[in-house]
Amino acid sequence: MARRISLVNFKGGVGKTSLTVNLAACLAHEFGQRVLLVDCDAQSNSSIWLMGAPHWSVLNEKPQNTIYGIFMDQNVAHPIHLNVIKGVSREDGRVAIPTLDLLPATYSLMDLEHEYKNADDYPYFLRFNLQISQFFNSYDYILFDCPPNVFRASKCALFSSEEIYIPCNPDILSYVGLTLLNQKIDAFQKQTVAYHTLAQDYRLAQIRGIILNAMRGTANYDTVIKTMEAWIHNARSSSAVDDNAEVLPRMIRHSVSAGRAVQEHKPVILCDGFPSLTEDYIKLAEYIHHKPLQRATAYQPIFQPDKLKKTKKE
């Protein structure tokens, strides 16, 4: 059964995408895990990063071939498993990480927020869950790269996740909103309680930690780390926060040249010239890989297609 992890923060520019892409790559490349990266951000940065702009631009014309296919008329959309790009990371035209796959996004995903209307029986997050659940047994990890908000796309990811990590820069601005984020997650989980038993292998997603990104060696982050620790200390009483939540001891150093990895359409681990950054990502992946997840008991019974309709009619 795959570990399903969302990387979420209200704030933009805290490194959600770079963490997701590189964490996924390290888990696959260094630890031999089968990883599916699901791009839930309409900005499509992880998709562009891993696919390269030319390939992604072609895809941008075909929303039925992307994650948005889940929400399209099923007569038009492709079966979602056909939209997964296997071994997405390539080097000189060859697959570089065979166990890293991508379910890409394009700008069309933005329509989920405004245009998409819930079908009678299936709210968007349940529809997403039922489609994504076909991958639960074929991967070791499913990582959701979320946009900097808690709108529909993020909610889809949260509904299908069991773990949440919050990327933060070591400044107070990226801390701002953690309380609100926690409240939003908590409220969403309460609002959707009627659907938990209808979802496939539903688990209450919990915040497991804050990942500090872009740390500069010489700076003093004492106050900001103290603030984050104090926040976690208090937030553990919330059902959306794991009892063992922490500011992860593995942190990612700042690097001015990491943008080159994006230009080369490769995760950092495949690029030359970033030994410290590569080491940080590997150590972070190793830490998360070994941070055991005490799985809560899954909701029963497993979804039966006719059950929901019946309940609604009643």
Query: C-beta of 279: minimal distance to other proteins in Å?
Result: 10
User: Binding residues for other proteins, how many (CB under 8 A)?
Assistant: 30
Of residues 8 and 130, the one with the C-beta less far from other proteins: 8
Is 234 among the residues that bind other proteins (CB under 8 A)?
yes
Query: C-beta of 34: minimal distance to other proteins in Å?
Result: 18
Could you give phi then psi for residue 141, rounded to 5 degrees? Answer: -140, 140
Task: Rule CB under 8 A: choose which of 32, 107, 229, 310 binds other proteins.
Answer: 229
Q: In whole angstroms, how far apart are CA 125 and each of 87, 89, 128, 152, 175?
A: 27, 28, 5, 8, 27
Reference 166, options 5, 46, 283; nearest CA is 5
Query: C-beta of 31: minimal distance to other proteins in Å?
Result: 9
Rounded-to-integer distance, Cα 190 and Cα 185, Å: 9
Structure tokens at 310: 């019946």
Query: C-beta of 153: minimal distance to other proteins in Å?
Result: 25
Q: Which stretch binds other proteins (CB under 8 A): 6-14, 59-67, 73-81, 232-240?
A: 232-240
Binding mask 191-220 for other proteins (x = CB under 8 A): ------------------------x-----
Is 175 among the residues that bind other proteins (CB under 8 A)?
yes
Is 55 among the residues that bind other proteins (CB under 8 A)?
no
Long-range pairs of 73-77 with CB within 8 A, sequence gap ≥ 24: none
Is 312 among the residues that bind other proteins (CB under 8 A)?
no
Task: Rule CB under 8 A: choose which of 94, 114, 290, 312 binds other proteins.
Answer: 290
Is 231 among the residues that bind other proteins (CB under 8 A)?
yes
Scan residues 248-287 and list those touching other proteins (CB under 8 A): 248-251, 283, 286-287
Of residues 228 and 240, the one with the C-beta less far from other proteins: 228
Query: C-beta of 200: minimal distance to other proteins in Å?
Result: 28
Long-range pairs of 77-83 with CB within 8 A, sequence gap ≥ 24: 80/131, 80/132, 80/134, 81/134, 81/135
Of residues 82 and 230, the one with the C-beta less far from other proteins: 230
Is 243 among the residues that bind other proteins (CB under 8 A)?
no
Query: C-beta of 285: minimal distance to other proteins in Å?
Result: 10
Of residues 127 and 250, the one with the C-beta less far from other proteins: 250
Are 179 and 215 in contact by the 8 Å Cβ rule? The answer is no
Of residues 79 and 249, the one with the C-beta less far from other proteins: 249
**Interface residues with other proteins (CB under 8 A)?**
172, 175-177, 179, 215, 222-227, 229-234, 247-251, 283, 286-287, 289-292
